[in-house]
Amino acid sequence: MDAANALVAFTNYVLLPGATYGAQLALGALGATLIYGIMRFSNFAHGDTMAFGTMATILVTWLLQSIGISFGPLPTALIALPVGIIATATFVLATDRLVYRHYRRNKVPSIILVMVSLGVMFVMNGVVRMIIGVDDRQFADGARFVFTAAQFKTWTGLAEPIALRVSQVISLIAAVVVVAWLYWFLEKTRTGKSMRAFSDNENLALLSGINPERVVAITWILAAALATIAGVLYGLDKSFRPFTYFQLLLPIFAAAVVGGLGNPLGAIAGGFVVAFSEVAVTYSFRKVATYLLPDDWQPDGLLQLLTTDYKVAVSFSVLVLVLLFKPSGLFKGKAA
């Protein structure tokens, strides 16, 4: 029984939140890594692209709510999501046209593109704050739980509960669906293959008649969609605040680098590695230990490696360890 309680506590406080957060990070990192794979630069505006997409989705959600449309037990934001994706894709395609395309044609070093993305980051940041403000926004509606802590306890008779939130289930399902679709797209479709070819060897792709502008446009659309989905899932799970999204840049990059920049499979793995490290390192294992250890071994402390304030340090440490020991990432990336 104690072992079951320990396992349940671990699931509720580490496994579930870690998997949810990992799914969100993986989707964010996928977008960043796709841009890197095709355009060869780290897009510093990616966090703010997530914020922009989430903002657009929230605005549509409010509109839907105000005219009385809802999605039953599911959040209304899911209906609004496609509109958010279209708005974000339009915005990033416009930035590509107005800003990035010039540099691509002139074949500038990638660091200049990184710098340009800083400018885009500022603009997006300003736009988001001007439109929706800087405050915390809760936009999750519908049912909150698939089952609550109390329900779980009555069913199982265990002392420890698991509360399964709707947002967690949505995050996990959405991540699986999106990743499966993306895999199919990249592996099986002509367009997806041409993107891989372009990422692999740009010159040879040109020789083969692959249109670079089309590949780039599709990459932006995919990245915008992934960023919006990741942002909305994160916002449903926690809340939306522009600054928080800006700060997601670091774990997202950490995930992309850990997996190997430019490698989609790596981005997914990296997302979960970073998320689980963050959650596990900042979780107090005291409760788990009380069930597993004999009474006279009970720990005094919280058994917490770091306080949650140092979450950022965890993604950073994972990043540094990978840079030190395996700079090309766990999976082979495009960068050495």
Q: How far is the CB of 320 from another protein (least distance, A)?
A: 6
Question: Contact between 208 and another protein (CB under 8 A)?
Answer: yes
CA-based nearest residue to 291, from 6, 4, 1: 6
Q: How far is the CB of 157 from another protein (least distance, A)?
A: 35
Where does this chain touch another protein (CB under 8 A) — which range of 9-17, 37-45, 67-75, 79-87? 37-45
Q: How far is the CB of 257 from another protein (least distance, A)?
A: 6
Q: How far is the CB of 78 from another protein (least distance, A)?
A: 26
CA-based nearest residue to 46, from 66, 67, 69, 28: 28
- Considering beta carbons, is residue 149 or 206 the nearer one to another protein? 206
- Considering beta carbons, is residue 42 or 57 the nearer one to another protein? 42
Q: Choose, by CB under 8 A, the member of 1, 157, 190, 295 that binds another protein.
A: 190
- The CA distance from 20 to 170, in Å, is 9
- Considering beta carbons, is residue 117 or 168 the nearer one to another protein? 117
Beta partners for residue 71, in sequence order: 74
Q: How far is the CB of 119 from another protein (least distance, A)?
A: 4
Question: Contact between 244 and another protein (CB under 8 A)?
Answer: no
Q: How far is CA 8 from CA 158, 159, 203, 318, in A?
A: 9, 9, 53, 27
Q: Choose, by CB under 8 A, the member of 59, 83, 86, 127 that binds another protein.
A: 127
Q: Choose, by CB under 8 A, the member of 21, 139, 246, 331 that binds another protein.
A: 246
Contact (CB, 8 A) for 194 and 210: yes
Question: Contact between 66 and another protein (CB under 8 A)?
Answer: no
Question: Contact between 8 and another protein (CB under 8 A)?
Answer: no
Question: Contact between 301 and another protein (CB under 8 A)?
Answer: yes
Q: Residues 68 to 87: which contact another protein by CB under 8 A? A: none
Question: Contact between 124 and another protein (CB under 8 A)?
Answer: yes
Find tokens 């841009």 and name the residue: 35
Q: How far is the CB of 331 from another protein (least distance, A)?
A: 11
Q: Residues 140 to 179: which contact another protein by CB under 8 A? A: none
- Considering beta carbons, is residue 50 or 249 the nearer one to another protein? 249
Question: Contact between 200 and another protein (CB under 8 A)?
Answer: yes
**Contacting positions for another protein (CB under 8 A):** 36, 41-42, 44, 99, 102, 110-112, 114-116, 118-127, 129-131, 133-134, 190, 193-194, 196-197, 200-201, 203-210, 246-247, 249-250, 253-254, 257, 261, 301, 305, 307, 309-310, 312-313, 315-316, 319-320, 323-324, 327, 335-336
